[in-house]
């Protein structure tokens, strides 16, 4: 019996962009991010973020897709590590003595504007969970 190959979702569609952005804005609300903080995480100007919020683009730029993937992974990892949603959402703002944070909140690192800092936070959380998934 042959196993059918799973179809890779088309991430370049407007429907996918809209779904990804709706998910991001739900996370931003849970994390109580300001408009400036949300735009910084997306790596775009604030005006673009507001435009995307009301009218998703036909497709998202590669950098935005990477950032969204990292934010989604951070959110998921926090939900697994801290199953009480309020605690998971608050973790980003609490001072953290772990080496990647140097006593500062993880959100400070996320808001550096660099994609690599989102990766550092994601990697740290995944290591706390015991690996990627």
Place of tokens 């926090």: 78
Rounded to whole angstroms, the Cα distance separating 58 from 76 reads: 26
Please give the distance of CA 111 from its chain centroid, rounded to a whole number.
11
pLDDT digits (tens), the chain, 133 positions:
455 555 555 667 888 899 999 999 999 999 999 999 999 999 999 999 999 999 989 889 999 999 999 999 999 999 999 999 999 999 999 999 999 999 999 999 999 999 999 999 999 999 998 865 4
pTM: 0.88
Contact indicator for 63, 43 with CB cutoff of 8 Å: yes
End-to-end CA distance of the chain: 29
pLDDT in tens, 71-93: 999 999 999 999 999 999 999 99
Rounded to whole angstroms, the Cα distance separating 96 from 22 reads: 29
């Amino acid at each position: 019996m042959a196993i059918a190959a799973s179809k890779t979702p088309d991430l370049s569609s407007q429907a996918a962009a809209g779904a990804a952005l709706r998910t991001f804005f739900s996370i931003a609300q849970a994390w109580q991010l300001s408009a400036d903080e949300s735009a910084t995480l997306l790596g775009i100007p604030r005006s673009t973020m507001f435009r995307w919020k009301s009218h998703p683009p036909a497709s998202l730029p590669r950098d935005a897709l990477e950032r969204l993937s990292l934010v989604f992974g951070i959110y998921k990892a926090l939900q697994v590590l801290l199953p009480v949603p309020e605690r998971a959402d608050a973790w980003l703002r609490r001072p953290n003595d772990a080496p990647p944070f140097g006593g500062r909140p993880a959100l400070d690192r996320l808001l550096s504007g660099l994609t690599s800092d989102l990766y550092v936070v994601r990697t740290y959380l995944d290591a706390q969970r015991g690996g990627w998934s």
